[in-house]
């Protein structure tokens, strides 16, 4: 794959990072180059992690997430002009991911199967070497940070009627890259306007909890 403008030409240190949306900074202050973040429980959360980086001018790749929804990604703040999409990589998903890690700053991957140890080591080593950041949607052995949606609350329903307006979620961050102890935050994902914003002090009316 040809190099994409905006990709650092030299290997970046793990101390440098890419921005995340303000609503997520209490969980993950930045996306560190060479880091692997595991996301469990919400496709929307995976896409939200791309928003800050793409807004800052970084190129991002998305592999194996045809249901992601570019309209939703745009409303959450992603710059669609900075996204490279490979919806159906098939059996070559490892090679596609490897090529993107060498070409862009952040790669969001949903593996079709649980990755074998050799695949994990190869992609982690490549991310570190190229100064890229890997977001894995699903289980990933040895990830430095794990983000999960612990609870979810939709607004807009009253006694089973109405229109869903927003989703308030509690996100928990665990792992070495989360500061050594679990962190949690309530976030609109998405809010009534489709965006991602803090929801710690929100008063939720007409809500129905969703498993």
Residues whose CB falls within 8 Å of the CB of residue 199, separated by 6 or more in sequence, listed in order: 168, 169, 186, 187, 188, 191
Which CATH number, 3.40.50.1000, 2.60.120.650, 3.40.1390.30, 3.40.50.300, labels domain 17-137?
3.40.50.300
Give the alpha-carbon dihedral of 41, 45, 46, 47, to 10 degrees. 140
Task: Give the number of other Cβ atoms within 10 Å of residue 186's Cβ.
Answer: 18
Tokens of 29: 């202050």
pLDDT for 117:
94
The pair of structure tokens assigned to 101 is 């890690």
For residue 56, count CB atoms less than 10 angstroms from its CB and return exposed for 0-12, middle for 13-18, buried for 19 or more: middle
Question: Domains of the chain: which residue ranges?
Answer: 17-137, 147-209
pLDDT for the residue numbered 190: 85
Judge contact between 110 and 12, C-beta under 8 A.
no
Residues paired with residue 19 on neighbouring β-strands, in sequence order: 30
At residue 2, the pLDDT reads 41
CA distances from 172 to 19, 99, 132, 139, 149 (A): 19, 31, 24, 15, 6
Other CB atoms within a 10 A radius of the CB of residue 157 amount to 15
Average pLDDT per block of 10 residues along the chain, 211 residues long? 48 66 93 93 86 95 86 86 94 97 96 94 95 94 91 69 73 78 90 85 43 36
Rounded to whole angstroms, the Cα distance separating 57 from 142 reads 29
Instruction: Report the half-sphere exposure of 164 (CA within 13 A, side-chain side).
Output: 13
């Amino acid at each position: 794959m040809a190099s994409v403008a905006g990709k650092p030409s030299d290997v970046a240190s793990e101390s440098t990072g890419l921005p995340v949306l303000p609503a997520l900074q209490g969980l993950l202050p930045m996306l560190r180059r060479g880091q692997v973040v595991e996301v469990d429980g919400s496709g929307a959360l995976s896409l939200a992690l791309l928003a800050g980086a793409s807004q800052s001018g970084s190129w991002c790749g998305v592999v194996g997430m045809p249901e992601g929804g570019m309209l939703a990604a745009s409303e959450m703040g992603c710059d669609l002009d900075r996204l490279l999409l490979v919806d159906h990589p098939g059996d070559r998903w490892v090679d596609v991911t490897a090529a993107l890690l060498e070409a862009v700053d952040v790669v969001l991957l949903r593996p079709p199967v649980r990755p074998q140890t050799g695949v994990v080591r190869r992609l982690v080593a490549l991310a570190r070497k190229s100064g890229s950041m890997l977001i894995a949607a699903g289980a990933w052995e040895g990830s430095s940070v794990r983000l999960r949606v612990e609870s979810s609350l939709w607004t807009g329903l009253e006694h089973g009627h109405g229109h869903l307006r927003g989703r308030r979620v509690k996100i928990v961050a665990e792992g070495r890259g989360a500061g050594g102890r679990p962190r949690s935050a309530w976030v609109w994902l998405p809010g009534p306007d489709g965006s991602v914003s803090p929801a710690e002090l929100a008063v939720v009316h007409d809500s129905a909890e969703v498993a």
